[in-house]
Amino acid sequence: MPSESLSLPLLGRVAAGAPIEAVEHDEFIEVPSSLVRHADRTYALRVQGQSMIDDGILDGDVILVQRQNTAQNGEIVVAMVGEEATVKRFYAHRGAKNIPQEAIDALFERLGGGDGDGEDSAGRSIDKMIELRPANSTMAPMWFDPSEIQLRGVVVGLIRRFV
Protein backbone atom coordinates (compact mmCIF):
# COMPACT_ATOMS: atom_id res chain seq x y z
CA MET A 1 0.00 0.00 0.00
CA PRO A 2 1.65 3.28 -1.05
CA SER A 3 2.16 5.89 1.63
CA GLU A 4 0.50 9.26 1.20
CA SER A 5 2.89 12.15 0.82
CA LEU A 6 2.78 15.86 1.50
CA SER A 7 4.47 18.71 -0.30
CA LEU A 8 6.24 20.94 2.23
CA PRO A 9 7.95 24.24 1.45
CA LEU A 10 11.75 24.03 1.44
CA LEU A 11 12.49 27.53 2.71
CA GLY A 12 16.24 27.54 2.28
CA ARG A 13 19.12 26.53 4.48
CA VAL A 14 19.96 26.79 8.13
CA ALA A 15 23.34 26.76 9.80
CA ALA A 16 24.52 23.91 11.93
CA GLY A 17 27.55 25.95 12.89
CA ALA A 18 27.77 29.73 12.86
CA PRO A 19 24.44 31.32 11.98
CA ILE A 20 23.84 32.03 8.29
CA GLU A 21 21.34 34.25 6.57
CA ALA A 22 17.95 32.63 6.06
CA VAL A 23 17.06 32.63 2.38
CA GLU A 24 13.56 31.80 1.22
CA HIS A 25 13.01 29.78 -1.93
CA ASP A 26 10.02 28.62 -3.92
CA GLU A 27 10.99 24.95 -3.63
CA PHE A 28 8.97 22.09 -2.20
CA ILE A 29 9.90 18.65 -0.92
CA GLU A 30 7.70 15.56 -0.89
CA VAL A 31 7.65 13.78 2.47
CA PRO A 32 5.65 10.85 3.82
CA SER A 33 2.57 12.16 5.63
CA SER A 34 3.46 9.89 8.56
CA LEU A 35 6.40 12.22 9.34
CA VAL A 36 4.23 15.31 9.72
CA ARG A 37 1.68 15.86 12.46
CA HIS A 38 0.71 19.48 11.62
CA ALA A 39 1.23 20.03 7.88
CA ASP A 40 -0.07 23.59 8.03
CA ARG A 41 2.72 24.56 10.47
CA THR A 42 5.58 22.47 9.08
CA TYR A 43 8.33 23.44 6.65
CA ALA A 44 11.71 22.10 5.60
CA LEU A 45 15.24 23.54 5.73
CA ARG A 46 18.50 22.18 4.35
CA VAL A 47 21.25 21.95 6.98
CA GLN A 48 24.66 23.46 6.34
CA GLY A 49 27.50 22.79 8.76
CA GLN A 50 28.75 20.36 11.38
CA SER A 51 27.49 21.64 14.74
CA MET A 52 24.74 19.03 15.17
CA ILE A 53 26.63 15.90 14.06
CA ASP A 54 26.51 14.27 17.52
CA ASP A 55 22.70 14.35 17.24
CA GLY A 56 22.89 12.74 13.80
CA ILE A 57 22.07 15.92 11.87
CA LEU A 58 24.62 16.14 9.07
CA ASP A 59 25.61 18.71 6.46
CA GLY A 60 23.14 18.42 3.56
CA ASP A 61 20.32 16.82 5.58
CA VAL A 62 16.83 18.26 5.36
CA ILE A 63 15.12 18.96 8.69
CA LEU A 64 11.37 19.22 9.16
CA VAL A 65 10.46 22.12 11.42
CA GLN A 66 7.15 22.67 13.18
CA ARG A 67 6.54 26.41 13.34
CA GLN A 68 6.23 27.61 16.97
CA ASN A 69 7.77 30.31 19.12
CA THR A 70 8.30 28.31 22.32
CA ALA A 71 10.46 25.31 23.15
CA GLN A 72 11.22 23.00 26.04
CA ASN A 73 14.75 22.64 27.38
CA GLY A 74 16.71 20.16 25.29
CA GLU A 75 14.58 20.46 22.15
CA ILE A 76 16.33 21.07 18.84
CA VAL A 77 15.17 24.43 17.50
CA VAL A 78 15.57 26.76 14.58
CA ALA A 79 16.28 30.24 15.91
CA MET A 80 16.86 33.60 14.29
CA VAL A 81 19.77 35.57 15.71
CA GLY A 82 19.36 38.96 14.07
CA GLU A 83 18.93 38.15 10.37
CA GLU A 84 20.66 34.78 10.63
CA ALA A 85 19.18 31.32 11.22
CA THR A 86 20.75 28.51 13.21
CA VAL A 87 19.76 25.04 14.43
CA LYS A 88 20.82 24.10 17.98
CA ARG A 89 19.53 22.57 21.21
CA PHE A 90 17.57 25.10 23.29
CA TYR A 91 18.04 25.72 27.02
CA ALA A 92 16.54 28.55 29.07
CA HIS A 93 18.59 29.30 32.19
CA ARG A 94 17.29 31.23 35.19
CA GLY A 95 19.47 32.69 37.91
CA ALA A 96 22.99 34.04 37.43
CA LYS A 97 24.53 31.09 39.30
CA ASN A 98 23.46 28.83 36.41
CA ILE A 99 25.04 31.03 33.76
CA PRO A 100 28.79 31.10 33.05
CA GLN A 101 30.37 34.45 33.93
CA GLU A 102 31.92 34.76 30.46
CA ALA A 103 28.43 34.50 28.93
CA ILE A 104 27.15 37.26 31.23
CA ASP A 105 30.14 39.46 30.41
CA ALA A 106 29.71 38.90 26.66
CA LEU A 107 26.02 39.75 26.88
CA PHE A 108 26.69 43.03 28.67
CA GLU A 109 29.39 43.84 26.13
CA ARG A 110 26.88 43.32 23.28
CA LEU A 111 24.07 45.20 25.02
CA GLY A 112 26.26 47.89 26.56
CA GLY A 113 27.32 48.40 30.16
CA GLY A 114 28.70 45.95 32.66
CA ASP A 115 31.92 45.78 34.56
CA GLY A 116 32.51 42.04 34.72
CA ASP A 117 30.56 41.36 37.93
CA GLY A 118 27.34 40.09 36.31
CA GLU A 119 25.68 43.49 36.56
CA ASP A 120 25.57 46.42 34.18
CA SER A 121 26.35 50.03 35.05
CA ALA A 122 22.71 50.58 36.10
CA GLY A 123 22.91 47.67 38.55
CA ARG A 124 20.73 45.37 36.43
CA SER A 125 21.67 41.72 36.69
CA ILE A 126 21.09 38.77 34.43
CA ASP A 127 18.36 36.47 35.67
CA LYS A 128 17.56 34.65 32.42
CA MET A 129 19.60 33.71 29.39
CA ILE A 130 19.03 31.42 26.43
CA GLU A 131 21.71 28.88 25.55
CA LEU A 132 21.81 27.53 22.01
CA ARG A 133 23.98 24.44 22.35
CA PRO A 134 25.62 22.64 19.44
CA ALA A 135 25.82 18.85 19.37
CA ASN A 136 29.51 18.85 18.53
CA SER A 137 32.11 18.66 21.30
CA THR A 138 34.50 20.92 19.37
CA MET A 139 32.05 23.85 19.39
CA ALA A 140 31.02 26.17 22.21
CA PRO A 141 27.43 27.05 23.11
CA MET A 142 26.05 30.46 22.19
CA TRP A 143 24.41 32.58 24.93
CA PHE A 144 21.75 35.25 24.40
CA ASP A 145 19.38 37.52 26.21
CA PRO A 146 15.86 36.33 25.30
CA SER A 147 15.32 39.59 23.39
CA GLU A 148 18.21 38.74 21.02
CA ILE A 149 16.66 35.64 19.45
CA GLN A 150 13.40 34.53 17.90
CA LEU A 151 12.42 30.89 17.88
CA ARG A 152 11.09 29.85 14.48
CA GLY A 153 10.25 26.26 15.31
CA VAL A 154 11.15 22.89 16.73
CA VAL A 155 12.78 20.17 14.64
CA VAL A 156 10.33 17.26 14.28
CA GLY A 157 11.93 15.20 11.54
CA LEU A 158 14.97 14.56 9.39
CA ILE A 159 15.37 13.44 5.80
CA ARG A 160 18.67 12.18 4.44
CA ARG A 161 19.40 11.18 0.88
CA PHE A 162 21.91 8.46 0.24
CA VAL A 163 23.66 8.89 -3.07
Q: Residue 1's pLDDT is what?
A: 42
How confident is the model over 96-102, as a mean pLDDT?
70
Catalytic hit among 51, 121, 125, 147: 51
**3: pLDDT strictly greater than 50:** yes
Annotated catalytic, 51?
Answer: yes
The CATH class of 5-159 is: mainly beta
Q: What are all long-range contacts of 120-127, with beta carbons under 8 Å and residues at least 24 apart?
A: 125/96, 126/96, 126/99, 127/94, 127/95, 127/96
Question: How many other C-beta atoms lie within 10 A of the C-beta of residue 56?
Answer: 10
**39: pLDDT strictly greater than 70:** yes
Catalytic hit among 33, 34, 88, 147: 88
Each domain of the chain, given as residue ranges in start order, spans 5-159
Annotated catalytic, 3?
Answer: no
Is 85:47 a contact under the CB 8 Å cutoff? no
Of residues 19 and 50, more confidently modeled: 50
Q: Residue 64's pLDDT is what?
A: 95
Q: Residue 151's pLDDT is what?
A: 95
